[in-house]
């Protein structure tokens, strides 16, 4: 997605590990519709057992946010927002970002981050 480089670049250039999940490996990249990040930024590639696609929140019921989305949200808050003192952001759409928006006020406060991070952010409309 458009957000992929912004999510991966901090890890790739700060001694982090970048693991990407793909639907399939290909030998000829000329047939790919697009490439979001350079291969040199990637440490590990995992081939999914079934195709995965981004599911926009606008067409999905937010009650279906899964525990893995909450875990990823907690990791983003703890590992990126807190560590890098993120102040301004726009999450985009999807269950992953919806989970961040839902837990940021309570989980962020429990970490002592209230008023310290994410002061300026765009909340995307929910159905």
Instruction: Quick: pLDDT tens for 13-70.
Output: 988 899 998 888 888 888 777 777 888 999 999 999 998 876 554 555 667 788 988 8
Average pLDDT, the chain: 81
Is residue 77 within 8 Å of residue 111, measured between CB atoms? yes
Q: Which of 5-9, 24-28, 70-74 shows the lowest per-residue confidence on average (mean pLDDT)?
A: 5-9
pLDDT of 43 reads: 94
Q: Does the predicted model carry a pTM greater than 0.85?
A: no
Q: What is the mean pLDDT of residues 66-78?
A: 89
Is residue 53 within 8 Å of residue 23, measured between CB atoms? no
pLDDT of 122 reads: 65
Domain boundaries, the chain: 1-53, 55-127
């Amino acid at each position: 997605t458009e957000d992929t480089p912004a999510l991966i670049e901090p890890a790739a250039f700060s001694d982090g590990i970048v693991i990407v999940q793909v639907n399939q490996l290909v030998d000829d990249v000329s047939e790919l519709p697009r490439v979001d990040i350079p291969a040199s930024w990637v440490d590990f590639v995992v081939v999914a057992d079934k195709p995965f696609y981004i599911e926009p929140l606008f067409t999905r019921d937010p009650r279906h946010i899964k525990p893995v989305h909450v875990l990823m949200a907690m990791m983003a808050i703890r590992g990126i927002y807190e560590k890098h003192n993120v102040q301004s952001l726009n999450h985009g759409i999807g269950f992953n970002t919806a989970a961040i928006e839902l837990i940021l006020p309570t989980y962020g406060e429990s970490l002592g981050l209230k008023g310290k991070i994410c002061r300026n952010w765009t909340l995307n409309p929910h159905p």
